[in-house]
Structure 1
Amino acid sequence: MTHKHPEMKMFLQDADFFLDWAEGKENRDVQLIFPLPFRELNLMKNKTLSLSNLLQYTLSDLINSPEKSINLFHCLNELGDHSLVEEIQQYLRSGSINKAKLSSSQWSAVAFVLLASEKMPDEFDINKFVEGNNETKKLEVFQKLLPVIKESRSVQSNPSHLRQLTLSNNNLGSSGVHFLSTVLKDPQCKLKNLCLWECGITDEGCAALASALRSNPEHLRHLDLSNNNLKDTGVKLLSAGLKTLHSLEKLWLWRCRFTVEGFTALASTLKSNPEHLKDLNLSANKVGNSLTLLSEVLRDPRCKLERLQLYCCSLTVEGCAALASALRSNPSHLRQLDLSDSKIGDSVVNQLSAVLEDPRCKLEKLWLRGFGVTGEGCAALTSALRSNPEHLRNLNLSNNNLGQSGRKLLSDLRADPHYKLQKLQI
């Protein structure tokens, strides 16, 4: 191994080839065995390299083992070579690391600096490390820096401090999600917010996430899997994992391409544990008539949902009527409701207006864009707002055939001394 540097024994490995380093020179007694392929050996054979230069050739192989990577840089520091670490520290301090074109050894140094930091970050956003929309590059960097997330507790005596992880707009695929799930399964993982918007996740990834959630259900508060091709199979698998979560407050699954089958499974899960969820976005999925199932959740007095987004969901009159009925039973918690882009009509608008009239109703934002509202619906809404004007601040009635009568009713409402709307879109 080495006579002059015994501390290197912890990471240098036996290999098939022996480099008699600097033969015939003063370092004749330094004999090293490195795990280098033929190509690297051929490239190096006519070069004169310092020991620290030679060590850096092995970084790309060692980064998958954080302990070895740390040992390697400790050895480089012992040899007086701080250049790579100092370069990376400068990038991190200036906030320009996402603009830098780093080599494999430099990304190893990034991992080392982050792992060795006395204060681990509370938030990890891949976009802070890679600029633009280069999915391949982001995935490469994500894979290199996952040990930072997974192994941070091995550098510090306390558990990982990571609370928010954003990997949005990256094609992680099944392999990336499986890798991430191993982190989430660890009982020492205290992650609260996980955003995987548009990450190429399918039903296979959902199965891995569900398994991780069942293994470690205590901490996750926010989960965003929007714009992934989960379909019904993926949502059913995910729903099984969500049943074990004790404190999920935010769930976003918009444009995940599921239908009534997936929605039914999800509604069943939410019904079994309605106490904590505050923010639910299921927009741009074919919910259809299964909204009646979610309405049963909203009717439950334990339900404290504050924000519900169901735009572009192919809603039905029956489903929306069930929703309005549930809100009449439990009107105190919902603050934002978006039912846009489903041509439902005035019958449901009249029922929603009855909810708004209730003094217990605290709704602040109501979006009914493209909802089939006419002058009749406007009459019901304006009457409700005159009766209970205290809370609603944002009303969107754009892309509806309100007619002259409806527009006049809304115009007259503005003149009411109790008018509190801050934003009205028609």
Structure 2
Amino acid sequence: MRELQLSGNKAGDSGMKHLSSLLEDPNCKLEKLQYHKANIGEEGFRALASALRSNPSHMRELQLSWNIAGDSGVKHLSSLLEDPNCKLEKLYLHNCSIGEEGVIALASALRSNPSHMRKLQLSHNEAGDSGVKHLCSLLEDPNCKLEKLHLFKCSIGEEGFKALASALRSNPSHMRELQLSGNKAGGSGVKHLSSLLEDPNCKLEYLHLNKCSIGEEGFRALASALRSNPSHMRELRLSGNKAGDSGMKHLSSLLKNPNCKLEKLNLNNCSIGEEGFRALASALRSNPSHMRELQLSGNKAGDSGVKHLSSLLKNPNCTLEKLYLYNCSIGEEGFRALASALRSNPSHMRELWLSNNKAGDSGVKHLCSLLEDPNCKLEKLVLQCCSITDDGFRALASALRSNPSALRNLFLLEDNQPGPSAQQLLSELRKHPNCKHLQIDGPY
């Protein structure tokens, strides 16, 4: 046995104690234990740590998220982590009621045995700036090889961001993924982080800063830093910040850099309007071959903004696979522009999210001209709440019957108005021999 998954059961501390009698057996070679959402408290963590201390050399991954560890439980676990024979590489403690004291204990333990841990998940705990500063004493250790650190919603402010940036600047070459969303970075915190990103020795590939109170100045600092060191970043998540068109223009100066290899960009709900969409499209047209996923939902694109974006999509060098534009104030003209662009370059797009827009039957009919193209490889299409009635449903059914092989998931029944004839057509479509892989949401 190498991997045991027991998550989502009501094991409790008693169950954990029974399992621990296996883990302490010297013949047990278990490498991965998934035990999240299992009602474990301090006593369960104590039993687990005690068992693994007597047989520490095999376990590589512990998934213990959504249990009630508390600081006391984490302190027991820390007694395992500081054991020189412990070779644990991945530790998940998401939402485990850990506070500053628990983070201090973890950091202290890992400092005494720093070379094995590669991924540390501490999101949804109350680390705060003080706890993060103690964690930074681990990160700046030259023997620390941590590659992924998740601190989503950990009550971190400017001082915590300053400490993180400083620690990682002194040991920048290992970290690949930083998840810091849901903290109060603000412009000042992001500027500290930017001092790390511009370091030529920084190899960070994934940076998540959703809902971090970042405005235009923060976007300017991020873009400037990444322009000076653009070749490593692959995924940048900045949703729920106040970029505005100005912030988007700063970011676009990074995207058009020929050395920028960014593949995923998340900018949902960032107050971006037509001018921001224009700047984004223009930048990506000059460097189109790397981007695979664009999330732009909840912005005020409108038809004009989508038309700018369409000029990117029809570029033969554009290989975008996933585009999210739900709730972007798009009407018939925007749908026409999207469909036309994708018809001229149809083979790459796999997911298109367009819910909560005013497509109407006319807009959907434009999209149907894409779906019936035999070169269209779209696999997922989301059109919920798009003012589609019987006429639009009939057009969709007809298009899919003529080219049914690519699409796998169609979401459109919620908050649209299919009449009886459309429901009948969709039912028949499901039974069509060429549509056996197509999943359509809803009961029809």
TM-score w.r.t. the length of structure 2 is 0.69
Partner of 2:147: 122
Contact 2:226 2:254 in 1 (8 A): yes
**After superposition, where does 1:37-186 map in structure 2 within 5 Å?**
90=82, 99-102=98-101, 110-116=135-141, 118-127=143-152, 133=153, 135=155, 137=156, 140-153=159-172, 160-186=173-199
* Within-5 A mapping of 1:375-390: 375-390=390-405
Q: Counterpart amino acid of 2:184?
A: N
Distance 1:392 1:232 in 2: 34
| Preserved contact between residue 207 and residue 236 of structure 2 (Cα < 8 Å) | yes
Larger Rg: 1
Mapped pair 1:259 → 2:278: no
Q: Is the 8 A contact 2:154 2:182 kept in 1?
A: no
**Can you give the 5+ residue segments of structure 2 that lack an aligned partner in the other structure?**
1-74, 105-128
Q: 2:297 aligns with which of 269, 280, 283?
A: 283
User: Are 1:214 and 2:230 matched, yes or no?
Assistant: no
**What SS is found at the alignment partner of 2:433?**
coil
Equivalent AA in structure 2 for residue 261 of structure 1 = E
Question: What's the CA shift for 1:365?
Answer: 0.4
Give CA deviations for 1:242-276 in whole Å, capped at 9, x if unaligned.
Answer: 22153111111110012112111111111111111
> Equivalent residue of 1:308, what SS?
strand
What does the per-residue CA deviation read over 1:4-60, in whole Å, with 9 as the maximum and x for residues that have no partner? Answer: xxxxxxxxxxxxxxxxxxxxxxxxxxxxxxxxxxxxxxxxxxxxxxxxxxxxxxxxx
Asked if 1 retains the 8 angstrom alpha-carbon contact of 2:162 and 2:193, the reply is no
By percentage of residues, which structure has more helix? Answer: 1
Deviation at 1:220, TM superposition (A): 1.0
Which consecutive residues of structure 1, in runs of 5 or more, have no partner in the other structure?
A: 1-82, 128-132, 154-159
The sequence identity of aligned pairs, in percent, is 45
Superposition RMSD in Å = 2.6
Q: What's the offset of the Cα at 1:87?
A: 6.7
Q: Which residue of 1 aligns with 2:421?
A: 405
**Are 2:389 and 1:374 aligned?**
yes
CA distance in 1, matches of 2:186, 2:336: 39
Paired residues in the alignment total 330
Cα distance in 2 between the residues matched to 1:220 and 1:143: 20
Residue in 1 that maps onto 2:440: 424
- Letter aligned with residue 206 of structure 1: F
- Maintained 8 Å contact 2:302/2:334: yes
Alignment match, 1:306: 321
Structure 1 match to 2:203: 190
SS state at 2:171 partner: helix
Which of 264, 273, 293 is residue 287 of structure 2 equivalent to? 273
